[in-house]
């Protein structure tokens, strides 16, 4: 009987970018990148919005409303990493801060991952 392959997701930091690598259950593997500067901005915004809960779209609109140019891909990579590291919790498509200092914890995890590379 064939085994069912599950989706796999890993993260690494390379050349100042957070890289999300995905091996889907079906289809081709892919990866997306988020520059460190964008990741830091997103972490600040997640901290500000985290108490009331927010979606990916809310965060993009918040960042663009502040005059910062972020992409949906950058935000998606950052949010996936923050959820994987238990800094954010996703409930019903909304993200909530699990820690008091999302930005500090996010940057700590980013740099810890960078030192492993």
Per-residue pLDDT reduced to its tens digit, 59-73:
999 999 999 889 999
CA distances from residue 116 to 9, 12, 111 in whole angstroms, order as listed: 17, 8, 9
The answer to whether the CB of 74 falls within 8 A of the CB of 18 is: no
What are the domain boundaries of the chain?
35-116
d(CA 6, CA 101): 32
Q: Is pTM, for the whole model, over 0.95?
A: no
Per-residue pLDDT reduced to its tens digit, 73-110:
999 999 999 999 999 999 998 999 999 899 999 999 99
Q: How far apart are the first and last CA of the chain?
A: 38
Question: Tell me: domain 35-116, CATH 1.10.10.10, correct?
Answer: yes
Q: If residue 18 lies in a helix (H) or strand (E), which one and from where to where? A: strand 17-23
DSSP 86-108: TSEEEETTEEEESSS-HHHHHHH
């Amino acid at each position: 009987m064939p085994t069912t392959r599950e989706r796999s997701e890993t993260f690494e930091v390379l050349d100042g970018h957070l890289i999300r690598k995905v091996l889907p259950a079906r289809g081709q593997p892919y990866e997306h990148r988020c520059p460190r500067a964008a990741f830091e901005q997103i972490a600040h915004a997640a901290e500000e919005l985290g108490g009331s809960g927010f979606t990916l779209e809310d965060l993009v609109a918040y960042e663009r409303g502040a005059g910062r140019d972020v992409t949906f891909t950058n935000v998606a990579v950052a949010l996936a990493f923050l959820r994987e590291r238990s800094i954010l919790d996703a409930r019903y498509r909304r993200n909530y801060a699990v820690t008091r200092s999302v930005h500090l914890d996010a940057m700590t995890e980013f740099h810890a991952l960078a030192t492993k590379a």
